[in-house]
Chain A
Amino acid sequence: SQQGEEDPQALSIQEGENATMNCSYKTSINNLQWYRQNSGRGLVHLILIRSNEREKHSGRLRVTLDTSKKSSSLLITASRAADTASYFCATDADNNDMRFGAGTRLTVKP
């Protein structure tokens, strides 16, 4: 079963705009991760945020985590056409088992 649920399911923006995706999860976690997947390819790790962290940055990415609301958001600033992909959040319900959400399909129009 899936642990996380992303919102929205699909997002279409213009190049240069910011993209925000949200993730909600159900149980306590040790960390939450975001991954990107280009069509039909493997997933690529973007960023990990631990349960005792509230915000983390990596380049144009900003992730927030609110454990009281069991939610996280991923912000991509100044988006590019190359950012077009599906984005997934993943949580470790226990340390041996990463569960993924259904993903947000992001389209960045040039």
Chain B
Amino acid sequence: KAGVTQTPRYLIKTRGQQVTLSCSPISGHRSVSWYQQTPGQGLQFLFEYFSETQRNKGNFPGRFSGRQFSNSRSEMNVSTLELGDSALYLCASSPGLAAGGTGELFFGEGSRLTVL
């Protein structure tokens, strides 16, 4: 099976712009989680989607949003970018516990966002 695919891998934006990141999970995985990783804050949970429903959300402002499509692909959007949004954004998929998953997350390589 192909792994988790995130696009784009690298992008540069300026303050005030918005950005959309995409994540294609492993085939058959219905749960997609997003994380922000920065040197200062470490790995911070953004949100988790399962079957197109957001089940959980981390402590981020409303500028951070996401969605999941019927094919389980997910996107996250950050509006009105700030310098502090520069980070590695990681997507992870899993089958979901109800589908026999163990809770293990399968990560993509991430999208590195630089805000100038």
Q: Which residues of A contact B (CB under 8 A)?
A: 1-2, 30-31, 33, 35, 40-45, 48, 88, 90, 92, 94-103
Q: Which residues of B contact A (CB under 8 A)?
A: 4, 31, 33, 35, 42-45, 48, 50, 55-56, 58-59, 88, 90, 92, 97, 102-110, 112
B107 touches A98 (CB 8 A): no
B104 touches A42 (CB 8 A): no
- From B45, B56, B90, A43 is in contact (CB under 8 Å) with B90
- From A41, A43, A95, A102, B105 is in contact (CB under 8 Å) with A43
B44 / chain A contacts, CB cutoff of 8 Å: 2
- From B31, B45, B97, B103, A99 is in contact (CB under 8 Å) with B45
B105 touches A45 (CB 8 A): yes
Please measure, in the bound complex, the distance between the C-alpha atom of A33 and the C-alpha atom of B109, giving whole angstroms: 19
- A-B interface, 4 closest residue pairs, ranked by CB to CB distance from nearest: A42-B107, A100-B43, A102-B42, A96-B55
Q: Given A40-B88, A42-B107, A100-B35, check contact A48 B48 (CB 8 Å).
A: no
A96 touches B56 (CB 8 A): yes
B90 touches A88 (CB 8 A): no
B42 touches A40 (CB 8 A): no
A48 touches B104 (CB 8 A): yes
A103 / chain B contacts, CB cutoff of 8 Å: 42-43
A30 touches B103 (CB 8 A): yes
- Which residue of chain A lies nearest to B31 when distances are taken between CB atoms in the complex? A96
A48 touches B110 (CB 8 A): no
B42 touches A42 (CB 8 A): no
- Which residue of chain B lies nearest to A30 when distances are taken between CB atoms in the complex? B103
B108 touches A1 (CB 8 A): no
